[in-house]
Structure 1
């Protein structure tokens, strides 16, 4: 995370499906997008905590704005020549459905991969 003039997409490097998509995105993206494995972030970074980042996809824009979920995914693909094919997910008619589907999938993925490290008695999770 050296160049703050680039967008940064934070992904879960322990999620096989996430890694597969990042390999594909990495092969197509331009140099204005940096792919960052959440598990490789340095301690003390000013980003949200690891579990917040792991719960949903996050993209930090060059201006410093944080996008999440479908918004982050669509924004990340705009750094490829294929990004225009995903813009329909942000159209008013499709946005609520795309967001609902993504939220369901993100919750399922997080629980499947990280629920064992969560303490139900304390209601919190240890850092992965």
Structure 2
């Protein structure tokens, strides 16, 4: 069974919105999301919270660590929409897409503000 546990920033409005969209489409229950600011995160001592706050992290069902756009692609693949993100993993596009992803991750609060009017979720944590 293909499972994926995604560790995301629950204080980022865009991050929460994407996780909510994934869970809504995950009819088979393949994806578990864990807010790195939640009490549940202590159950994953092998995931560095500082690094997980910089780059999206996930563990697959074999314990393999995925990072950044590899997480995004795998997650959307599990809900039947991987084709949308597949081009971002093509060898000729991957290096550029990864650089753009890191720029987004570093500036996600500013980008969230521009797109949603909120840079961070109220009271520190967004609710799905």
Under a length normalisation based on structure 1, what TM-score does the superposition of the two structures give? 0.75
- Give the equivalent residue in structure 2 for 1:34: 32
For residues 33-52 of structure 1, the aligned pairs below 5 Å read: 33-40=31-38, 41-43=40-42, 45-52=44-51
Of structures 1 and 2, the one scoring higher in RCO (CA 8 A, sep 6+) is 2
Q: CA deviation at 1:86?
A: 1.1
Residues 76-101 of structure 1 show CA distances to partners (whole Å, capped at 9, x for unaligned) of 11111212221111101110111010
Partner Cα separation in structure 1 for residue 65 and residue 109 of structure 2: 20
Contact kept in structure 2, 1:11 and 1:58, CA below 8 Å: yes
Larger radius of gyration: 1
Alpha-carbon distance between aligned partners in 2 of 1:91 and 1:78, rounded to the nearest angstrom: 15
Matches within 5 A, 1:6-85: 6-29=3-26, 30-40=28-38, 41-43=40-42, 45-85=44-84
CA distance in 2, matches of 1:42, 1:9: 11
Alpha-carbon distance between aligned partners in 1 of 2:10 and 2:85, rounded to the nearest angstrom: 23
Match of 1:98 in 2: 97
1:126 match: none
Cα RMSD for the two superposed structures: 2.3
Aligned length: 110
Cα distance in 1 between the residues matched to 2:15 and 2:86? 20
Compute the TM-score of the two structures, normalised by the length of structure 2: 0.75
- Deviations 1:30-54 (CA, angstroms, capped at 9, x unpaired): 3111111111134363222211111
Which 4+ runs in 1 deviate beyond 6 A?
110-114
